[in-house]
Structure 1
Amino acid sequence: MQRFQIIGMLILFTSCSSIEIFKEKTEFKPYKRYQNFVILNNEVGLKGFNDDFLNAMVGDGLKVALEKTGMNYETNNPDLVVRFTSNEDLRQREVFNNMYPMWGWRVWDPFMFDPRFNNRQMYSTRNYELLQLIVDFIDPKNDKILMQLTAVSEVHQSREKKKKLEKSVEKIVETYVTHMDYNLP
């Protein structure tokens, strides 16, 4: 019985992924396996984020993750150019505040019609940040975008932004690898 509870909890936590990956644009089908790459933001000094720490973290994370796939970092004559940007939007969400407890929708609650408790607000707002990491994989020989991937997640606290970005980088590189494996002959 305890095994099923542990397995159920693992499935619940792994299936509730809060990062979604969208393949925005592909201008051509890959024709070869890319051996080396360069990250344009690191070489030219482009800022993908307003925060220098997050900018360096994403650049280094992309470099390490792509090197794990067997590619080499090459600044002189790369097969693939990688560029990243971000979109950080502050937003608000309306949240329903359940006035009724779980037992019987307060049918048996003596305080249901008490005027002191009926002035509670049904809705409130919660602030969050919609975080988008946009990564372009560009073929410099064709001068076209091989693929543009966008990782979208919600950040409710500033301390979880770093973790979300690390997971986003991992998922983007994973999506890039599966796209290449699927489309190459």
Structure 2
Amino acid sequence: MKRIVKMIKTTCLVVAAGMLVLACSQALQVNYDYDSSVNLKQFKTFKVEAEHKIEEDPLLGSELNRRRLGDAVVEVMESKGYKFDQNNPEIIVRFMTDVKERQQVRSNNMYSPYMWWYGGGNNISTYNYQESRFILNIYQKTSDKMVWQGWASGKVKAPSKKDDRESMVKNTISDILRTFPEATADTYSRK
């Protein structure tokens, strides 16, 4: 009986520790902005391209990553009911990625009532990391005016396998486009 109770306590402790680790892990933060004067539900067709006028990062701007991002955007937009049209799209989805160096400062206050006896003080430590951003800009083709922008930012650990990279990019693009409206029911009736 004692062995069973000990095993249950150990299992609960492991589960609690796992939940704590998951709660403390930093996920991508997704946000969006849009032009409220434009009815986003009017669009039916799209095309995808890399954002213009950006500084190309040799790794993130590589042909492999541009192709991964473009394929993921096409797949997610088509799953939302939009039709890919390279020649005459109503909206153009442009994508970009970048990495910024960030620094987090942590303070551990070690003061206590017995500070005069044991000493004490304030420990300050810094933590350097890289923050990745995935940005989607959607432009209305007729005016070349941005009508919607979505982005995901946070600490990203590079996946180890090719399939992991593609699924990570697709999941990120899907999260960004989650708030973009789905195509209306008459999507394919016009053409």
Give the TM-score, by structure 1 length. 0.63
Counterpart of 1:125 in structure 2 is 126
CA distance in 1, matches of 2:88, 2:154: 34
- Structure 1 residues 166, 92: closer, same or farther in 2, change over 3 A? farther
- 1:130-183 Cα distance to aligned partner (Å, 9 max, x none): 22222111111233211112222223x4448957644331111111127x88xx
- Structure 1 residues 31, 92: closer, same or farther in 2, change over 3 A? closer
- Structure 1 residues 96, 57: closer, same or farther in 2, change over 3 A? farther
Deviates more, 1:51-60 or 1:132-141: 51-60
- Structure 1 residues 27, 144: closer, same or farther in 2, change over 3 A? farther
**Matching residue within 21, 25, 35 for 2:44:** 35
CA distance in 1, matches of 2:133, 2:96: 8
Do the aligned partners of 1:28 and 1:145 also contact (CA within 8 Å) in 2?
Answer: no
Count of aligned pairs: 158
1:137 aligns with 2:145: no
- Structure 1 residues 82, 127: closer, same or farther in 2, change over 3 A? same
The residue correspondences of 1:24-173 to structure 2 (distance < 5 A) are 24-26=33-35, 28-30=37-39, 32-41=41-50, 50-51=58-59, 52=62, 53-96=64-107, 113=118, 122-155=123-156, 157-159=157-159, 162=165, 165-173=169-177
Residue segments in structure 1 that go unaligned for 5+ positions in a row: none
CA distance in 2, matches of 1:164, 1:123: 34
Residue segments in structure 2 that go unaligned for 5+ positions in a row: 1-7, 185-191
Give the root-mean-square deviation of aligned CA atoms: 4.1
- Structure 1 residues 31, 20: closer, same or farther in 2, change over 3 A? closer
CA distance in 2, matches of 1:17, 1:37: 33
- Structure 1 residues 144, 67: closer, same or farther in 2, change over 3 A? same
Identity rate, percent: 19
Counterpart of 2:31 in structure 1 is 22
Counterpart residue type for residue 132 of structure 2: L
Q: Secondary structure in 2 aligned to 1:142? A: coil
